[in-house]
Structure 1
Amino acid sequence: MAIIINIDVMLAKRKMSVTELTEKVGITMANISILKNGKAKAIRISTLDSICKALECQPGDILEYRSDEGTED
């Protein structure tokens, strides 16, 4: 996938646990794990908004684009 979700990086920068983030955002630990592991097919804007509020960051701090090597757009 070309979009990378860097929740683990922001958690480390904010010295916040995954458990604390799930409590602040109101989504399950399983869903946070799906996002962290790059298995998510989509993320709701409202969820992204809640994550950004909890981590005090911008969406660009969490989302990163990397081109897929060897594929054409």
Structure 2
Amino acid sequence: MELRAVHCRLTELLAERKMTVVQLSELVDVSVVNLSVLKNDRARAIRFRTLVAICQALDCEIGELLVLH
């Protein structure tokens, strides 16, 4: 069985909402650097609390943010 990667659609969701990473960072109290790591698919882990905060700020479901690639 081939292991698939998880892709973070943060770039697309931010663009759809006309929001910047800096604005999201302020809303969810997560550093711009950490959001950029997530946005560029370099994150190895994410806290559930952070995931929920991002989804609430972007008004999306987890499955819209993280997809199998």
What is the CA RMSD across the aligned residues, in angstroms?
A: 0.9
The within-5 A match list for 1:9-24 is 9-24=12-27
**In structure 2, what is the Cα distance between the partners aligned to 1:17 and 1:38?**
17
| Aligned residue type for 2:42 | K
What is the CA–CA distance in structure 1 between the aligned matches of 2:28 and 2:11, rounded to whole Å? 15
Which has the greater radius of gyration?
1
Paired residue type of 1:16: M
Residue 51 of structure 2 aligns with which residue? 48
Runs of 4 or more, structure 1, over 4 Å off, are none
Q: TM-score, normalised by structure 1?
A: 0.86
* Cα offset, 1:51, TM superposition: 0.1
Distance in 1, Cα, partners of 2:11 & 2:35: 10
Q: 1:60 aligns with which of 34, 59, 63?
A: 63
Which residue identity does 2:22 align to in structure 1?
T
| Percent of residue pairs bearing the same amino acid type | 42
Counterpart CA distance in 2 for 1:18 and 1:42 is: 19
Per the normalisation by structure 2, the TM-score is 0.91
Q: Deviations over 1:32-54 (max 9, x none)?
A: 01001111001111100000010
Match of residue 30 from structure 2: 27
